Amino acid sequence: MSNWLVRGGAVLSGTVSVQGSKNAALPILAATLLIEEPVRLLNCPMILDVENMLRILESLGVTVLRESDALIVDSSTASRFVLPTALSGELRSSIFLLGSVLSRFHAADAPYPGGCEIGNRPIDLHLEGLRRLNADIEEHGGHIRCKGDRLVGAVVDLGYPSVGATENIMLAAAKAEGQTTIRNAACEPEIVDLQRFLCACGFRVAGAGTPTVVIDGVKKGHGTSFRIMPDRIVTGTYLIGAAITGGDVTVADTQPETVDTLLYQLAACGCTVTQHADAVRLRASRRLTGVGLIETRPYPGFPTDLQPQLFSLLSLAGGTSVLVENVFENRFKHAQELRKMGAKNRILDRTAVITGVERLHGAVVTAHDLRGGAALALAGLAANGETQILHAERIERGYERMESVIEALGGSITRKEDRIGEEEKTQ
């Protein structure tokens, strides 16, 4: 267990380069199983979720090497189609491997995936999509067993624009016979990045970023060198960090267009936002104001992965704000932790009513999930005194060296594992 001590009161300022995208890297790593040649990945983030995915791939026989700033993945040595239960239970995105393992070995055996407990995330769309491609699937004893001696292209209509289901079907269809069309596909930028990777490897995919994705099956792909896109959620997190501390931060090496819904809301709060081709600068020199109603939606709507961080910011903004969570029904666990710090909020089902306060104060809080934990870290930076965050390893699932980044911007986050761990045991 990892625990953080966050010291409040500092104003974040400076420039930070954003890491590679977690949500792009994980399906791309799954896609390497389709290619029996080495793949060189640049800008792959060094985070816990990626490390867990690499360990799963290695358990399947994949060879993984780190070379300077590149990750070399060679799936020519892969020989197993059974995903390890313990590792898969730690990583929700292990479900991405179902389509690629099935495509590679014509069989796949996987436990139900784990990850953050932010609500019910059924995988029925994944399984129904694979069935449409002629896969035979059985669910028994907490395992999913797939057989697909002959995957065949089909039209797959998704009942909901699920990111994971869209990507899983893309991976399974890449080598299937004929053409696959995904309708009502998710449009997230990370799906576009997966398409870019697959096309760089010789596969034929078009339409990513729109509701219709078309995949023409190709028997064999080839190795490539590929740079993973910047992480838009990390970009947004550090911009909110500048806003909540009244700071001046430039996030470089990013794609501003992927966070434009957040930038609009931050400007509405009273921040000064300046966009460049590959950077965003945010300045906040006074107390911000609430923004009324914000609802999370699939892309290009406001991202659910930035809802907790914005929640922290609105806890200090003047007036009353309303956040509606339309994607995950259990993504307000950070609300009760923020109340320990003096925040005022009320939760009714999927709606949060937030009344901004003048000050937050340090407290002992718990990171229940990745983004909620990041939200507590931002709140701690803006609070009076010290905030202890228990189970901060959940934050490390998606943020690369967040403590070092915050320190470079003038803030303070340090590890206090032993002392805080003992305090947690006595609570």
Which residues, in sequence order, are bridge partners of residue 415?
Answer: 4
Angle at 310 between CA 405 and CA 419, to 5 degrees: 50
Q: Give CA torsion, residues 77, 80, 85, 91, to 10 deg.
A: 50
- The residues that are catalytic are 116
Q: How far is CA 40 from CA 28, 72, 73, in A?
A: 11, 5, 7
Helix (H, G, I), strand (E, B) or coil at 356: coil
For residue 66, the cross-strand partners are 71
Element (H, E) at 39: strand 38-42
Please give the Cα distance from 237 to 247 (Å, whole number).
13
**CA-CA-CA-CA dihedral for 408, 397, 70, 203, to nearest 10:** -130
CA distances to 30, 69, 97 from 65, in Å: 16, 11, 20
Q: SS3 helix, strand, coil % of the chain, rounded to 5?
A: 35, 25, 35
Q: Which residue has the tokens 């596909």?
A: 185
Torsions phi, psi for 239 (to 5 deg): -70, -40
Shortest CA distance to 397 belongs to which of 32, 91, 64? Answer: 91
What string of DSSP letters covers 176-227? Answer: SBSEEEEES----HHHHHHHHHHHHTT-EEE-TTSSEEEEE--S-----EEE
370 vs 91: CA distance, rounded Å: 12
Nearest Cα to Cα of residue 182 among 210, 214, 208: 214
Q: Round to whole Å and give the CA distance between 94 and 24.
A: 13
Q: Cβ distance 249 to 217 under 8 Å?
A: no
- CA pseudo-torsion sign 144, 129, 101, 68: negative
Q: Where are the alpha helices (DSSP H) in 245-303?
A: 260-269
